[in-house]
Amino acid sequence: MIDTLVQNSTQNVVSHSSNNIWMWVAIVECLIIVGLLLARRKNPPNQTAKQKFKEDAKNEQIDFQNIMESSFKSKSLYDELKVKCHPDRFTDATKNAIANSIFQEIAKNKTNYKKLLELKEEAQQKLGITF
């Protein structure tokens, strides 16, 4: 009986000390993981130019409504604007310069309906054109 008790208590001590070792192993592993995470946060992984281009492209906003409007309305608006805002229609030097810059913007954004509407507004205010 006493022999058995002694044996049991020895086993308990052995298992207790082995638990203790594994606990320390887990703590060390935990510390290593935390250390690696902190290091990664300080020095984020280097992105290649390709990955950076991809990320930048994905973060840009796309205005689908403007695309739909541009597909069917931009051509007629562009045709109207390019006639009414042509610099040759303005003899005054100041207005001619303004018309010139607006005309260049119109040509640059001929398929962007939203931008063309903004330019139309600008032409109405600065050049006094009535549409």
Partner 1 sequence: MFANTWNNILGWFRDRSERASIVRSFNASAREAFVVGIAPTLLKAKISRGNPAFHHQFSDWLNTGFRIQAFTGRVLSKEELMCIGEVILNDGALARRLVVLGWDTLEVHGDEGNYGCRWQLRDYVALGQ
Residues that bind partner 1 (CB under 8 A): 49-50, 53-54, 56-58, 60-62, 64-75, 111-112
Element (H, E) at 48: none
Maximum pairwise Cα distance, the chain: 120
Instruction: Supply the angle between the helices 113-127 and 64-84 in degrees, to the nearest 10.
Output: 40
CB neighbour burial string for 36-48, b if at least 16 within 10 angstroms, e if fewer: eeeeeeeeeeeee
Q: Which is nearer to partner 1, 85 or 112 (CB)?
A: 112
Q: Which is nearer to partner 1, 3 or 60 (CB)?
A: 60
| Least distance to partner 1, CB of residue 122, Å | 20
| Least distance to partner 1, CB of residue 64, Å | 4
Q: Which is nearer to partner 1, 114 or 126 (CB)?
A: 114
